[in-house]
């Protein structure tokens, strides 16, 4: 009896294996890998990536498959959890490339995982697009690795352009933390961009402090006296409220502008009304979005019950970029190495891609040239899309 | 002429900034000096006692504002917050003495000094576990109004901080000079071996000293919360170090010296950042202090007997 049961099972399994392989021989499935932190420190990031990917897949399925060169292909998502760890992200990439035969990989999101995982993708010559990683090393000297967001220093010139155009100011002051990489780098780039535009000496005060300082009164007194019209301070949510309040107490009247490090919800919680009306640059803003961005936000909110964050929006764009590249390549041969190379070349050639986080064109390094979003903190304390600012 | 008024404005503005900063250093450094006077060691947990005091102040202020803000006037809530916080925080001081220092009173001095550091770390991580890493925002106990007098900007909060700190120190001075307890503390700092023989127990005076120091630090914490309203569990570390520098600079065990040196430290920091590029602030400011100590190794008011014991 047992023997018969065994035999039946084996036959079934064999039959199934045979049938699937026969099926796939007739029809090539396009597989897209998602390498995301579904568990670990930042599961919310993983969730946003997954949800955005599922919306995208939904679109493809509704259209009856992905149209490449006049032929419809079935698309399958391979979602791998990287547990927000570098080793797991490397493992996930290796598995998806060598076992699942994915055509392209979206993710990992954080630089901590994207930098080592990019090494693997590049070694196996498979396109990888990290939607969210801002570390230059992710794409550096890796022709197969791309990203969907701009690099940190890029915000310097963008903000400098925005201030010049919006207010017509010619004199700016900078206050930054000299002991922290991100603000320091951004302050330097902003100063360069501003002085290039308005001539030497147009940054009237270039003041610094060190991490954990809470008193900025001497720096701000200098800044107020220097005759600057605008203050640029690329600081984090724990310093911004102190800087903004102290500046106002010392008689500062002009606008205070920041970078995407302001974008945490805690900035408003800690700063309150003092920060209303200020601006900062960011990847994306949910409130006040228009067009395709708004359509995405509404759809996501309706499906999952909350407003998507920047990770979801950037993941959506990364998937659409991959889709565009596959369609531009136009001829799926079924030979995975050849197809991967073709997709990579098509992706590198994409010009003026209309993403929901801005228009993108890739540089040689695989970093996009795209417009940043200028966010205004409105009078309800929300981060509102103000305008798009390009380099 | 205009250039001159501009310059005077600039100086006065920075003086006000420095007075505010110096007030915090002064009030906190007094805590170091008092303990040193009695026990001949520095309580390195003092910066973190200040931090815990600020968190207690935060809790009390939030509670009182929620309970009474409808029908009690603002200043009354402020005074109530200060009094209750001071009372609660002084028990933190007592706890540090009883749990941390008393068992080690006859241990080598280095062990006792390390105790303070360890208690500080326990406080930091304790708050971190209890309240999480999220920064808290200290609620304003009075509405901040900015004034502009002849181009010099200040707020009512700044003025209040400066005046209240001065009053606090005067009150402490009166306590030490005029009361029996104060006399006992002074006697203890003069000779901590003979005084217990006269019937004044060190087990009373030491916790009292810690309690007064912690109470002062907690009031400084409330004022700090008004000036820099962001709380994090490590906020006491740097300010504690700097106040410790002030306590040494003022002369070990000298309360008057600690207060003066606290103000001086505030002035040096603010004016160095004003004159030189702000990146060099701490480098130049603390080089100046090193130089002062080279020529006055006992600080401003250090007496010979207070430096007999090392550390």
Res B201: pLDDT? 87
Let me know: does A118 contact A143? Beta carbons within 8 Å.
no
Give the per-residue pLDDT at A287. Answer: 83
Identify the sign of the CA torsion A180, A181, A184, A190.
negative
Are B230 and A270 within 8 A, CB to CB? yes
In this prediction, residue A23 carries a pLDDT of 46
- pLDDT > 50? residue A22: no
Q: Are B16 and B159 in contact (CB under 8 A)?
A: no
Q: What is the pLDDT confidence band of residue A13, given thresholds at 50, 70 and 90?
A: low
| Residue B274: pLDDT over 70 | yes
Q: Tell me how close the Cα of B237 comes to any Cα of chain A, in angstroms.
A: 9
From residue B154, alpha-carbon distances to A161, A211, A221 in Å are 33, 25, 11
Neighbours of A296 (CB within 10 A): 22
Joined together, the tokens standing for residue A240 give 């911004």
CA A307 to chain centre: 16
User: Looking at the predicted structure, is the pLDDT value of residue A21 above 60?
Assistant: no
Share of chain B above pLDDT 70, in %: 96
Mutate to test the interface with B, among A173, A207, A217, A244 (most CBs of B within 10 A): A217
User: Does residue B138 register a pLDDT over 80?
Assistant: yes
Structure token pair of residue A318: 């990364």
Interface with B, mutate which of A173, A221, A240 (most B CBs under 10 A): A221
With CA atoms as reference, the chain B residue closest to A268 would be B137
Q: Is pLDDT at A28 greater than 60 in this prediction?
A: yes
Please report residues of B whose CB lies closer than 8 A to that of A215.
17, 20-21, 227-228
**Considering only CB atoms, which chain A residues are within 8 Å of B10?**
221, 225
Which residues of chain B does A270 touch, with a Cβ-Cβ cutoff of 8 Å? Answer: 135, 137, 229-230
Please say if the pLDDT value at position A81 is more than 70.
yes
The span from the CA of A144 to the CA of A278, in Å, is 39
Cis peptide before A108 (omega within 30 of 0): yes
- Contact residues, chain B, for A238 at CB < 8 Å: 135, 230, 232
CB contact under 8 A, A238 and B148: no
Number of H helices, E strands in chain A: 12, 16
> Strand (E) positions, A223-357?
230-232, 256-258, 279-282, 353-355
Nearest chain B alpha carbon to A237 = B135
Query: Where does A124-264 have alpha helices with state H?
Result: 155-167, 181-198, 217-225, 240-249
More confident residue, B3 or A387: A387
The confidence band for B310, taking pLDDT boundaries of 50, 70 and 90, is: very low
Give the distance from residue A298's alpha carbon to the nearest chain B alpha carbon, in angstroms: 30
Q: pLDDT tier at B303 (50, 70, 90 boundaries)?
A: low
Least confident of A10-19, A378-387, B120-129, B188-197: A10-19
**Interface residue of B17, B137, B226, B234 to substitute, partner A, most A CBs within 10 Å:** B17
Is pLDDT at A72 greater than 70 in this prediction?
Answer: yes
pLDDT in tens, A231-272: 999 998 889 999 999 999 999 999 999 998 888 778 888 888
Q: Let me know if A16 is exposed, middle or buried by CB neighbors in 10 A (0-12, 13-18, 19+).
A: exposed
Report whether B193 contacts B202 (CB < 8 A). Answer: no
Tokens, residue B108? 């080598």
- φ/ψ of A174, rounded to 5, equals -125, 135
Of A208, A238, A269, the CB nearest to B279: A208
Q: What is the pLDDT of residue A167?
A: 94
Average pLDDT of span B55-78: 92
Among the partner residues B232, B273, B277, nearest to A238 by beta-carbon distance: B232
Q: Cα distance from A126 to chain B (closest Cα, Å)? A: 39
Looking at residues A83-107, what average pLDDT do you find?
Answer: 94
Question: How close is the nearest chain A Cα to the Cα of B71, in Å?
Answer: 24
The predicted model gives A346-359 an average pLDDT of 90
pLDDT above 90 coverage of chain B, percent: 64
Nearest chain B residue to A248 by CA: give it: B146
Distances (CA, A) of A209 to A104, A176, A218, B201, B307: 44, 6, 10, 47, 35
pLDDT band at B2 (very low <50, low <70, confident <90, very high): low
Sign of CA dihedral B125, B127, B133, B136: negative
User: Closest partner residue to A222 among B235, B274, B279, by Cβ?
Assistant: B274
Give chain B positions within 8 Å (CB) of A218: 14, 17, 269-271, 273-274, 278, 281
pLDDT at position A70, please?
86
Measured between alpha carbons, how far is B243 from B26 in angstroms, rounded to an integer?
7
CA B187 to chain centre: 23
Q: Which residue of A has its CA nearest to B281?
A: A209
Burial zone of A195 (CB within 10 Å; 0-12 exposed, 13-18 middle, 19+ buried): middle
Alpha carbon of B186 to those of A226, A351, B301: distances in Å? 50, 80, 15
- Running DSSP on this structure, what letter comes out for residue A99? T
Say yes or no for a CB contact (<8 Å) between A249 and B154: yes
DSSP 3-state of A86: helix
Cβ-count burial A350-372 (b if 16+ within 10 Å, e if not): beebebbbbebebeebbbbebbb
Residues B216, B176 contacting (CB under 8 angstroms)? no
Q: What is the DSSP letter of A171?
A: -
pLDDT given at position A179: 85
Q: Which residues of B touch A247 (CB under 8 A)?
A: none
* pLDDT given for residue A55 in this prediction: 95
Residue A218 to residue B229, Cβ atoms within 8 A: no
For the sheet with A172-177, list strands across it. Answer: A203-209, A172-177, A230-232, A256-258, A279-282, A372-377, A383-389
Domains of chain B: 2-307 (1.10.3470)
Surface-to-core class of residue A10, CB atoms within 10 Å of its CB (0-12 exposed, 13-18 middle, 19+ buried): exposed
Check pLDDT > 80 for residue A11: no
**C-alpha–C-alpha distance, residues A284 and A371, integer Å:** 10
Protein fold of A29-150+291-369: Rossmann fold (3.40.50)
b/e code B64-99 from CB counts within 10 Å (16+ = b): bbeeeeeeeeeeebbebbbebbbebbbebbbbbbee
Q: What is the pLDDT of residues B12-51, one digit of tens each?
A: 999 999 999 999 999 999 999 998 888 888 899 999 999 9
For residue A28, what is the DSSP state? Answer: P
Q: What is the ipTM of this complex?
A: 0.88
The minimal CB distance from A218 to the residues B155, B227, B270 is found for: B270
Q: Which candidate, A170, A200, A48, A42, places its Cα nearest to that of A111? A: A42
Query: Which residues of B have a CB under 8 Å from any CB of A?
Result: 6, 10, 13-14, 17, 20-21, 134-135, 137, 144, 146, 148, 153-155, 158, 227-230, 232, 234-235, 237-238, 269-271, 273-274, 277-279, 281-282
What is the Cα gyration radius of chain A? 24
Q: Chain A residues within 8 A (CB-CB) of chain B?
A: 178, 207-210, 212-215, 217-219, 221-222, 224-225, 237-238, 241-242, 245, 248-251, 266, 269-270, 272
Report chain B's mean pLDDT, rounded to a whole number: 90
- Nearest-CA residue of chain B relative to A267? B135
Question: What number does CATH give the domain A153-282?
Answer: 3.40.50.2300
Q: Give pTM, 2 decimals.
A: 0.81
Domain ranges of chain A: 29-150+291-369, 153-282
Mean per-residue pLDDT for A57-74? 91
Q: To the nearest whole percent, how much of chain A has pLDDT over 70?
A: 93
- If you measure CA to CA, which chain B residue comes closest to A223? B274
pLDDT greater than 70 at residue A64: yes
Which tens digits make up the pLDDT trace of A181-212?
A: 888 889 999 999 999 999 999 999 999 998 88
Q: Using one digit for the tens of pLDDT, what is the confidence trace for B196-240?
A: 888 888 899 999 999 999 999 999 999 999 999 999 899 999 999
Checking if the pLDDT of B260 tops 90, the result is yes
CB under 8 Å to A180, separation ≥6 — which residues?
A: A211
CA distance B137 to B176: 35
Cβ contacts from A onto B, under 8 A: 81
**B-chain residues near A381 (CB < 8 A):** none
Among the listed ranges A114-123, B223-232, B292-301, which one has the minimum average pLDDT value?
A: B292-301
What band does B95 get if pLDDT is binned at 50, 70 and 90?
very high
- Judge whether A51 and A300 are in contact, CB under 8 Å: yes
Instruction: Give chain A's mean pLDDT.
Output: 89
The stretch B152-178 carries a mean pLDDT of 94
Which residues, in sequence order, are bridge partners of residue A280?
A258, A375
Bridge-based pairing state of the strands A230-232 and A279-282: unpaired
Of A120-134, A239-253, B294-308, the poorest mean pLDDT is in B294-308
According to the 3-state scheme, what is the secondary structure of B103-159? HHCCCCHHHHHHHHHHHHHHHHHHHHHHHCCCCEECCCCCCCCEEEECCEEEEHHHH
C-alpha separations of B213 from B41, B60, B216, B235 in Å: 14, 19, 5, 18
Taking CB atoms and an 8 Å cutoff, what residues of chain A touch B158? 249
In DSSP terms, which residues pair with A127 in a beta bridge? A104
SS3 sequence of B164-197: HHHHHHHHHHHHHHHCHHHHHHHHHHHCCCCHHH
Tell me how far CA of residue A143 lies from CA of A39, A91, A125, A362, B300, in angstroms: 30, 21, 9, 11, 66
pLDDT for res A3 = 67
**pLDDT in the model for residue A10:** 62
| Subunit contact A217:B269, Cβ cutoff 8 A | no
The residue of chain A with its CA nearest to that of B134 is A266
- For the purposes of burial, counting CB atoms within 10 Å of the CB of B52, is it exposed (0-12), middle (13-18) or buried (19 or more)? buried
CA–CA gap between residue B231 and residue B203 (Å, rounded): 33
The pairing of strands B152-155 and B146-149 is antiparallel
Which residues, in sequence order, are CB contacts of B101 under 8 Å at separation 6+?
A: B39, B41, B43, B112, B115, B116, B206, B210
């Amino acid at each position: 009896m047992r023997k018969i049961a065994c035999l039946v099972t084996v036959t079934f399994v064999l039959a199934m294996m045979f049938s699937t392989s026969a099926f796939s021989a007739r029809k090539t499935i396009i597989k897209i890998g998602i390498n995301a932190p579904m568990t670990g420190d930042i599961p919310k990031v993983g969730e946003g990536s997954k949800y955005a990917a599922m919306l995208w897949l939904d679109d493809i399925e509704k259209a009856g498959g992905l149209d490449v060169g006049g032929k419809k292909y079935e698309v399958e998502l391979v979602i791998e959890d990287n547990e927000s760890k570098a080793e797991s992200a490397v493992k996930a990439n290796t598995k998806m490339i060598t076992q699942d035969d994915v055509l392209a990989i979206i993710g990992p999101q954080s630089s901590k995982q994207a930098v080592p995982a990019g090494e693997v993708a590049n070694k196996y010559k498979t396109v990888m697009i990290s939607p969210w990683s801002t570390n230059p090393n992710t794409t550096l000297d890796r022709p197969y690795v791309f990203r969907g967001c701009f690099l940190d220093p890029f915000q310097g010139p963008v903000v400098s352009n925005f201030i010049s155009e919006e207010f017509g100011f010619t004199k700016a002051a900078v206050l930054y933390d000299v002991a922290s990489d991100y603000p320091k780098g951004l302050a330097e780039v902003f100063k360069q961009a501003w002085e290039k535009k308005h001539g030497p000496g147009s940054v009237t005060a270039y003041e610094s402090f060190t991490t954990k300082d809470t008193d900025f009164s001497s720096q701000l007194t200098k800044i107020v006296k220097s005759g600057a019209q605008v203050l640029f301070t690329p600081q984090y949510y724990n310093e911004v409220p102190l800087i903004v309040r102290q500046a106002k107490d010392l008689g500062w009247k002009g606008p205070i502008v920041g970078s995407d490090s302001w974008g945490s919800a805690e900035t408003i919680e800690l700063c309150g009304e003092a920060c209303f009306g200020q601006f900062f640059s960011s990847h994306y803003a949910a409130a006040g979005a228009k067009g395709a961005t708004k359509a995405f936000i509404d759809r996501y909110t309706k499906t999952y019950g909350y407003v998507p964050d920047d990770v979801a929006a950037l993941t959506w764009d990364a998937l659409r970029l991959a889709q565009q590249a596959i369609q531009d390549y136009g001829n799926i041969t079924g030979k995975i190495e050849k197809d991967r190379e073709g997709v990579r070349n098509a992706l590198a050639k994409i010009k003026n891609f209309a993403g929901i986080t801005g228009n993108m064109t890739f540089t040689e390094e695989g970093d996009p040239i795209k417009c940043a979003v200028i966010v205004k903190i409105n009078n309800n304390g929300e981060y509102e899309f103000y305008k798009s600012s390009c380099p | 002429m205009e250039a001159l008024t501009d310059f005077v404005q600039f100086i006065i503005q920075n003086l006000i900034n420095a007075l505010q900063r110096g007030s915090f250093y002064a009030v906190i450094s007094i805590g170091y000096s008092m303990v040193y006077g009695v026990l001949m060691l520095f309580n390195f947990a003092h910066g973190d006692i200040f931090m815990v005091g600020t968190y207690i102040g935060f809790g009390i202020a939030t509670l009182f504002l929620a309970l009474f803000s409808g029908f009690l006037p603002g200043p009354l809530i402020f005074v109530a917050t200060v009094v209750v916080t001071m009372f609660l925080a002084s028990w933190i001081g007592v706890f540090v003495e009883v749990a941390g220092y008393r068992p080690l009173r006859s241990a080598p001095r280095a062990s006792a000094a390390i105790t303070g550091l360890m208690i500080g770390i326990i406080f930091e991580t304790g708050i971190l576990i209890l309240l999480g890493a999220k920064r808290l925002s200290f609620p304003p106990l009075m509405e901040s109004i900015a004034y502009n007098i002849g181009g010099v900007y200040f707020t009512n909060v700044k003025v209040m901080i400066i005046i209240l700190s001065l009053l606090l120190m005067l009150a402490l001075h009166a306590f030490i000079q005029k009361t029996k307890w104060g006399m006992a503390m002074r006697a203890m700092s003069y000779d901590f071996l003979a005084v217990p023989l006269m019937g004044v127990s060190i087990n009373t005076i030491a916790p009292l000293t810690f309690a007064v120091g912690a109470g002062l630090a907690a009031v400084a914490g409330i004022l700090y919360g008004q000036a820099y309203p962001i709380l994090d569990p490590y906020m006491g570390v740097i300010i504690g170090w700097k106040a410790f520098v002030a306590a040494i600079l003022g002369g070990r065990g000298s309360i008057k010296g600690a207060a003066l040196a606290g103000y001086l430290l505030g002035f040096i920091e603010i004016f160095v950042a004003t004159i030189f590029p702000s990146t060099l602030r701490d480098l130049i400011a603390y080089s100046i202090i090193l130089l002062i100590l080279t020529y006055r190794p006992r600080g401003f008011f250090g007496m010979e007997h207070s430096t007999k014991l090392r550390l």
